[in-house]
């Protein structure tokens, strides 16, 4: 009888978790489920993985995460977006890794808004990015692709350039040119996406490869992490000096 009660309790707890419309990330970021995820994708497992790899102190510019079907995502043909302090994530996900990638990538954009000066202020990763864009331009020209150099020197997002990569060249073919040059095909799109993909790779256990392919991007993300750790240590030491243990 006792075992049956325990089994029923566990089942009820699991059902309650699956049916909840809201949960939390890091105890202070509301995650709202507008439309259900596939049954094989556990939001709880994904959030736990995020909390295990991301320093909470970096996520100060994020208020909420919304999961579901959103017209602005469909219109832009994207799975996720950061907007006005919130992440909007499509509930159409292949698996938990797919969802994890989307969330961490968009968290990178929230970090970018908060720490933009530290990330871009010295121009180092922009220089690295432009250098790679020039190499890609020369490679494509050598294979008779009709590309304009000016498009490769613009670091901001351009719909025309995005169409060139995604439709004109195609990501499958583009992969042959970007392998070993960029962290991913998508990171070619703009400087902001270059950073976001690097951030994603850094925290999803691709640090060695990121450091090899994009050393300045790797260093930039690492400095964000180390600066935060240093600040935490300084606060702790200051508290110890003012309030020594008895």
In DSSP notation, 153-190 reads H--S--HHHHHIIIIIIIHHHHHHHHTTTSSSSGGGS-
Q: What residue numbers bound the domain in which 143 lies?
A: 121-232
**241 is a domain residue:** no
**246 is a domain residue:** no
How many CB atoms sit inside 10 A of residue 242's CB?
Answer: 7
The pTM assigned to this predicted structure is 0.84
Same domain, 33 and 98: yes
Residue (of 27, 2, 49) closest to 205 by Cα position: 49
Residue 228 contacts by C-beta under 8 Å, 6 or more apart in sequence? 55, 57, 58
Domain's final residue, options 59, 90, 114: 114
**240 is a domain residue:** no
The rounded distance, in Å, linking the Cα atoms of 133 and 194 is 11
Same domain, 106 and 88: yes
Domain's final residue, options 114, 142, 168: 114
pLDDT of 9 over the 50 cut: no
224-235 mean pLDDT: 62
Same domain, 108 and 10: yes
56 secondary structure, DSSP code: G
Residue (of 129, 197, 140, 193) closest to 164 by Cα position: 140
Number of folded domains that form the chain: 2
Domain's final residue, options 59, 81, 114: 114
Q: What is the pLDDT at residue 100?
A: 97
**203 is a domain residue:** yes
37-54 mean pLDDT: 95
């Amino acid at each position: 009888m006792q075992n049956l009660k325990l089994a029923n309790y566990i089942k009820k707890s699991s059902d309650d978790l699956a049916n909840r419309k809201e949960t939390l990330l890091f105890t202070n970021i509301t995650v709202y489920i507008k439309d259900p995820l596939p049954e094989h994708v556990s939001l709880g497992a994904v959030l736990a993985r995020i909390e295990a790899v991301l320093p909470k102190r970096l996520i100060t510019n994020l208020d909420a995460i919304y999961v579901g079907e959103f017209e602005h995502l469909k219109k832009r043909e994207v799975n996720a977006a950061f907007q006005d302090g919130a992440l909007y994530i499509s509930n159409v996900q292949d698996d938990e890794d797919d969802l994890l990638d989307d969330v961490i990538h968009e968290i990178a954009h929230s970090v970018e808004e908060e720490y933009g000066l530290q990330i871009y202020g010295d121009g180092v990763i922009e220089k690295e990015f432009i250098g790679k864009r020039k190499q890609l331009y020369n490679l494509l020209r050598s294979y008779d692709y009709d590309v304009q150099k000016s498009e490769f020197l613009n670091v901001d997002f351009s719909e025309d350039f995005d169409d060139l990569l995604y439709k004109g060249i195609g990501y499958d073919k583009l992969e042959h040119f970007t392998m070993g040059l960029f962290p991913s095909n998508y990171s070619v799109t703009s400087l902001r996406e270059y950073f976001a993909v690097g951030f994603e790779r850094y925290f999803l256990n691709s640090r060695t490869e990121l450091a090899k392919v994009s050393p300045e991007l790797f260093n930039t993300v690492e400095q964000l992490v180390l600066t935060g750790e240093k600040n935490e240590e300084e606060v702790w030491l200051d508290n110890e000096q003012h309030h020594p243990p008895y």
